[in-house]
Amino acid sequence: MAPTCIHHLNFVVRDLDDATAHFERVLGVAPFEIVDYAARGAHVARTRVGETWLVLVCPYDNESVPGRYLAERGEGFFLASFGVDDIQSHLDRLQHEGIDTTDQAARNGILDWQVADIAEVHGARLQLTRDEP
């Protein structure tokens, strides 16, 4: 069982207004939809690039996961999230393959997404995502 798509790519940014304007101008994408993601201490903007979401994360909580990432690594690519039909099945498969997923559980993401962080591989954070029906 493999992921069905690249669901979204996240970039962590310091200034959401500047970043959304820059990505819109450079890529020619539709305007970003902006939401507050209080559970992660960040304002988040998303737009589609084909079938994939482009997500910009601007932390306002320096102790949040994206806040610590920004402080340690600066702006830039944050994570790749892969679309799946069933997050728990993928977590079970990873556990069976010897990848520790005991601390990983699906949680509510922005808007209609369920997400589970699964690993950091070669410096990139990886995540699974399922759209809520």
Q: Where are the domains of the chain?
A: 5-131
Task: Say what the pLDDT of residue 133 is.
Answer: 60
Q: How confident is the model at residue 101 (pLDDT cuts 50, 70, 90)?
A: confident
Separation CA 45–CA 58 (nearest Å) = 8
Residue 74 contacts residue 92 (beta carbons within 8 Å): no
pLDDT tens, position by position, 73-86:
999 999 999 999 99
Helix/strand/coil for 66: helix
Residue 16 contacts residue 34 (beta carbons within 8 Å): yes
pLDDT tens, position by position, 47-63:
999 999 999 999 999 99
Q: How confident is the model at residue 68 (pLDDT cuts 50, 70, 90)?
A: very high
Separation CA 55–CA 67 (nearest Å) = 15
Query: Which listed CATH number (3.50.30.10, 3.30.428.10, 3.10.180.10, 3.90.190.20) goes with 5-131?
Result: 3.10.180.10
102, two tokens = 């005991």
Q: Which residue has the higher pLDDT, 103 or 128?
A: 128
